Copies of this chain bind each other. A is one copy, B any other.
C-alpha cells in the first residue's frame, strides 16, 4: 500500500515532495493500514483497493500540520489525521454511487467493481472506523469537528443536486454550497488537529478561519480550472461542470453581466448543448472578465487564509501552512 502512496505523491501537481518530508505522512499511511487491517473478506479487498489508489492526503496533511504548530507529534494526532482521511475516503465511495462514476483516482471505482450494494456498506464501514478511532483516543473535539464535516458535506451534495441546471444560483448560494461541500471539511481538519494538540480557543478559531478560506480558494480555483485548465491534466473535458448543470462562480459572474445574462441562462437550462457552445461560453467568460473576477475572489480567500496564520505561533509548520496557500494559488497560473 505504501508504495502506491509514494507513487501517487509524486504525481500530485503542486505539492512539493519536501512538504512530505516536513510532515510525517508515512506514519499516517501506516496507521491507516493498521486501522483497516482487521477488516475481512470483501470489506478488506475494498479497503485495500481504496488505500492502494493513493491520493493527495491533503486532509491528514492539514490535521498534522495544524497540530504540530502546537505540540510535537503524538499517536493521537496521527489518529486524528487518519480519521479525517477515512471520512474523506468514505465520502468519495458514496459520491461515486451518487454520481454513478466508474473511475476514481485513475482506477475503477468501488461501485464499478463491487456494485452499489457493497459500495454503500464500504462507505458506512469507513465512517464507523473513523469515529471508532476518535472514540478510542477520547478525541471528543476532533470527533465533533468530523461530525460537522460529514453533515456539512451531505448538505452541500444535496444543495448541489437541487441546484442542477438552475439559473437561480447566486453568489450567496454558490458560497454556501462550496463551504458545505469542501471548505468546512478543511476547516474541521485544521481544527481537529489543533484540538488534538491542545490548542487554545483563539488558536482553534484562527486555524479554522485558515482552513475555511483555503478550502474556498481551493474550490474556486477548481471551478475556474474546469473551464480553462488543461483538459489532459484535469482528466475531464472543459466545461464539464456546466454540462452537468453544476453552476460555479465563473457562470454566476457571467449571469450578472447584462450582455450575456439571457444567453447564459438559456445555456444553463438546456440539457443538450449545440455544438461549439462550450467554446462560446469560454470566450464569454474571458471577454466579460468573469474568469479574471473569479481569480480575484480566490485571491481574496488566499489573503484571508494568510492573515489568519498571523495569530499562530511562528514555526516551520505555520510556515508550511503559509506555503500551502501559495500552492493553491499557483494552480491558476
Cβ of B147 and Cβ of A41 under 8 Å apart?
A: no
The answer to whether residues A117 and B131 also contact, given A41-B158, A140-B138 and a CB cut-off of 8 A, is no
Give min CB distance, A184 to chain B, whole Å. Answer: 12
A162 near B124 with CB under 8 A, answer no
Does A155 sit at the interface, judged by CB under 8 A?
yes
Closest to A38 in B: B151
- Docked Cα-Cα span, A154 to B162, in Å, equals 29
Pairwise interchain contact A147-B132, C-beta atoms closer than 8 A: yes
Interface residues of A in 69-95 (CB under 8 A from B): 90-91, 94
User: Bound state CA distance, A91 and B124, in angstroms?
Assistant: 9
- The chain B residue with its CB closest to the CB of A156 is B121
| From B98, B124, B135, B154, contact of A154 by CB (8 A) | B124
Interface: A332 (CB within 8 A): no
Contacting pair A118 B158 (CB below 8 A): yes
Question: Which residues of B are found within 8 Å of A42, using beta-carbon distances?
Answer: 158, 162
Nearest CB in chain B: distance from A28 CB, A: 20
Q: Which residues of B contact A148 (CB under 8 A)?
A: 132
- Report if A118-B161 is in contact (Cβ < 8 Å); known contacts: A127-B124, A127-B127, A131-B143: yes
> Once the chains bind, are A131 and B129 in contact (CB under 8 Å)?
no
Q: Is the CB of B136 within 8 A of A94?
A: no
A128 interface hit (Cβ, 8 Å): yes
Nearest-neighbor residue (CB-CB) of A120 within chain B: B94
Q: How many angstroms from the CA of A125 to the CA of B117 in the assembled complex?
A: 18
Q: Is the CB of A121 within 8 A of B158?
A: yes
Check if A97 is an interface residue, CB within 8 A of chain B. Answer: yes
Copies per assembly: 2
A150 close to B136 (CB less than 8 A): no
User: Does A202 reach chain B (CB closer than 8 Å)?
Assistant: no
Interface of A is mostly: helix
- Is A121 within 8 A of B98, CB to CB? yes
Min CB gap A281→B, angstroms: 26
Give the shortest distance, in Å, between A157 (CB) and chain B (any CB). Answer: 5
Most chain B CB atoms below 10 A, which of A116, A144, A151: A151
* A154 close to B41 (CB less than 8 A): no
Distance in angstroms between the alpha carbons of A120 and B100 in the assembled complex = 12
A224 nearest CB across to chain B (Å): 26
Contact of A135 among B125, B147, B155 (CB under 8 A): B147
Indicate which residue in B41, B97, B132, B157 contacts A116 across the interface (CB closer than 8 Å): B97
Residue contacts A-B, CB under 8 angstroms, 29 given: A41-B158, A41-B162, A42-B158, A43-B154, A90-B124, A91-B124, A94-B121, A94-B124, A98-B116, A98-B120, A98-B121, A118-B158, A118-B161, A120-B123, A121-B154, A121-B158, A124-B154, A125-B150, A125-B151, A125-B154, A125-B155, A127-B128, A128-B147, A128-B154, A129-B147, A132-B144, A132-B151, A135-B144, A140-B140
A residues near B (Cβ < 8 Å) are 40-43, 90-91, 94, 97-98, 116-118, 120-125, 127-129, 131-132, 135-136, 138, 140, 143-144, 147-148, 150-151, 153-155, 157-159, 161-162
